[in-house]
Amino acid sequence: MHLWMEHYYSRSGITIYHGDCLDAMRTLPDGVIDLVVTSPPYDNLRKYDSGYAFDFPAVASQITRILKPGGDIVWIVSDATISGSETGTNFRQALHFKELGLNIHDTMVWEKGSPSYCGGCNHRYLSVFEYMFVFSKGYPKTFNPIRDRPNKTAGDKKHGTQRQSDGSFRYKTSPGKLTEEYGQRFNVWNIHHEKARNTGHPAVFPVSLVLDHIRSWSNPGELVFDPFLGSGTTAVASMTLGRLCMGADISEKYCEIAAKRLNAQIPDGDIDPSAEHKVGVNGIPV
């Protein structure tokens, strides 16, 4: 039996819940979400509007339940450093998802380009990255690789290497086939972080980062979910790429910011008024 939770915003396939994401997820049936993209509040590194600390085991359990077989979770996290030691929160969370039966499909790195604190540090190197764990429920049903990495050998004959058991390499060539101009992207993504003043949220991840994950792990028309929606970046990216999206945030201030960003994406003349507030069972966009 699933409870009803009133939605704060519903337009053009996007639904926002104002409230605890656990309450929102408990209204959903099993296996309805194709992709989760989120950056949860971790280690009290940012001051949020509602001072939110979340029940990670309960959230992880609910996300796993509502994820479709073959669906993916992109979990973007970092650690605080306390008394000279990183907390290790990100690794503990990754292992917990594995204990719930998910695969750690890929451990990716978001290289942010510059540290949030630009002063000197006399005891360690400044951190300029966050982990992006990709968890999958079984083997991923979707992978659309982004091919934008310039090939240094573009135009040359393709060749590959295969490592032998003695440590040597065996070279293989494919006569007549040339290396394409661009190859598949690696799992370290260099994307500059978003400035908080652009959205009014203290920990915004770049729209381009979310766009690339949604492109990679889902297809048009599928349903994306962000349990910590914040200023609505996941919803904005989903709308841009023709995906449905659901999100929740405990702060009404952030829900309002997200709604304004979404409305700015939709010129009034391009919307069929009959499509307003068009949701199905338990608020799932249709």
Secondary structure (H, E, C), the chain = CCCCCCCCEEECCEEEEECCHHHHHHCCCCCCEEEEEECCCCCCCCCCCCCCCCCHHHHHHHHHHHEEEEEEEEEEECCCEECCEECCHHHHHHHHHHHCCCEEEEEEEEECCCCCCCCCCCCCCCCCEEEEEEEECCCCCCCCCCCCEECCCCCCEEEEEEECCCCCEEEEEEEEEECCCEECCCCEEECCCCCHHHCCCCCCCCHHHHHHHHHHHCCCCCEEEECCCCCCHHHHHHHHCCCEEEEEECCHHHHHHHHHHHHHHCCHHHCCHHHCCCECHHHCEC
Question: What distance in Å separates the CA atoms of residue 167 and residue 162, rounded to the nearest whole number?
Answer: 10
Question: What distance in Å separates the CA atoms of residue 243 and residue 238, rounded to the nearest whole number?
Answer: 5
As beta bridge partners, residue 109 has: 131, 188
Biggest CA pair distance of the chain? 67
Span(s) in the chain for CATH 3.40.50.150? 9-146+187-283
Q: What are phi and psi of 150, to 5 degrees?
A: -60, 130
The pLDDT value recorded for residue 168 is 75
The pLDDT value recorded for residue 283 is 60
The pLDDT value recorded for residue 275 is 39
Positions of the chain with pLDDT under 50: 1-2, 45-48, 51, 201, 269-278
The pLDDT value recorded for residue 153 is 67
Q: Is residue 159 within 8 Å of residue 173, measured between CB atoms? A: yes
**Architecture in CATH of 9-146+187-283:** 3-Layer(aba) Sandwich (3.40)
The pLDDT value recorded for residue 180 is 75
pTM over 0.95: no
Q: Is residue 78 within 8 Å of residue 45, measured between CB atoms? A: yes
